Amino acid sequence: MRVYLDNAATTPLDPEVFEAMKPFMLEDFGNPSSTHAHGRKVRSAIESARKKVAELLNCTPGEIIFTSGGTEADNAIIRSAVATYDIKHIISSPIEHHAVTHTVEHLAKQGAVKLHMVNLDEKGHADITHLEALLAKHPGALVSLMHANNEIGNLLNLQQVGGLCATHNAFLHSDTVQTMGHYKHDMKVLHVCGMTAAAHKFHGPKGIGFMYIRKDRKIHSFIHGGAQERNMRGGTENVYGIIGLAKALEIAYREMDDHISYIKGLKARMIQKLTEQIPGVTFNGDSANLEKSLYTVLNVSLPESDESDMLLFNLDLQGISASGGSACSSGATTGSHVLGALYPESKRGAVRFSFSKYNKPEEIDFAVHKLAELFKVEAGL
C-alpha cells in the first residue's frame, strides 16, 4: 500500500482538469498573441479563464495576472510594490514561506527597505497588537503575512489585518497559496492589495499560478519583453496551464463545502488515533485546532529518539509519503525555519501530514499504524 499525505507540497491532478487542458495541448496550439484564427481562439480561451477566476474571487478580470506559480507571484508583488510606491518599510513574520522571507531579506540587505518582524505568540500566530503598533510607527509600509502557514497550518484573520492595513495606508500582500481553492476569498470584502496562488495546490497543473492586484493599487510590470498579461508579464502564456488552473479553481469552489467537511474529518481522525496510539505525541503550532488551522495540514512531533532524523526516510520505506516542512526546501540539511522560530530549543523531529479529497480513512489508519510501529522500534518498546 502506498499512501500520499503530502498534499501541501502538491496535489494530484483532477481528471476533469486534464480533460479541459487536453485540447490546448494537442489541437488548439495557436500563439495567443497572433491575430489569425488559431491565435484568436486561444486568446479567447485565456480571457474566459481569467474571467472565471475573477468571478470566483469577486473581482474584475483586469486584477488577475497569470504567473508561473506562487513564488514568482510573491516576488513580483513585493518587489514591484516597493518600487512602484517607493516603500521604505516592510512588516512581515519569521515564519513566512521562503518566497517571501528571502525576498524581503534581500531587499533589506540591499538597503532598499527596513525590515520589521511582527511578534508571534506561543502557537505561532501573529501578535495583532504588535502589528498595529508597527503600522502606526510606519504608515504606508508593505505588510506581507500569509493566510495559512504551509508547515503548521496556522490561519491569519485576513479581514482583520486588512482593516488595520487600510487604516494605516499600508500595502497588504498575502501569500494565499495554501488556502486558494480551499477557502472562498471575496475580494470585495478583504482589504488586500495583492494575493498569490499556485494551481498545483488545488488539483491543477504545476507551473502555473496567478496574482491578484487590486485595481487601485496597481504595480509596475516585472517581466519585460512583450505586452502579455496586461503589459505586466512579458512572454508567451502557459495556455493549457491557465485553462487547467481556471477549471481546477471552478471545481474547488463547486465542491468546497463537501471537501471541507470530509477532509476535516480525516484530520480529526488522525489526531485522535495518533493521541491514542503514541504516548507523548504533540502537535506543532495550532495545527491540531480544527477551527484555527488549515484543515488540510497537521504537523506532528514524536517523543525525542536517536532515530528522529530518519523518521521521514523510514516512513517512505513503509509506503507513506509525508514531509518535514516546506517541500521547496525538503532536500536541505537545515531544519524547518518555521519550527526553529517557534521551538528553538526543541530537538524533536516533526512530520507534516497534509490531506486532500482523494485520501481515504483507511489510509489515515494505515499511516498511524506504521508511525506507531516505527516509534515503538525507535523507543525500544
Query: Cα dihedral sign for 240, 241, 245, 251?
Result: positive
Rounded-to-integer distance, Cα 214 and Cα 50, Å:
15
Q: Phi, psi at residue 48, to the nearest 5°?
A: -65, -40
Helix axes 128-137, 158-167, angle to 10 degrees: 20
Instruction: Tell me how far apart the alpha carbons of residues 58 and 183 are, in angstroms, rounded to a whole number.
Output: 13
Residues whose CB is less than 8 angstroms from the CB of residue 145 and which lie 6 or more positions away in sequence, other chains included: 91, 92, 93, 96, 118, 126, 156, 161, 172, 174
CB 192 within 8 A of CB 57: no
Report which of 99, 104, 266, 126 is spatially closest to residue 198, judged by C-alpha positions. Answer: 99
Q: Is 165 a catalytic residue?
A: no
Instruction: Report the chain's terminal Cα–Cα distance, integer Å.
Output: 25
Write the CA distances from 9 to 78, 171, 297, 354, integer angstroms: 23, 28, 11, 8
How far apart (Å, rounded) are the C-alpha atoms in residues 173 and 53? 19
Cell 484564427, residue located: 37
Rounded Cα distance, 356 and 267, in Å = 10
Candidate list 59, 165, 193, 328, residue with the active-site label: 328
Angle made by CA atoms 286, 289, 294, in degrees to the nearest 5: 75
Q: Annotated catalytic sites, by residue?
A: 328
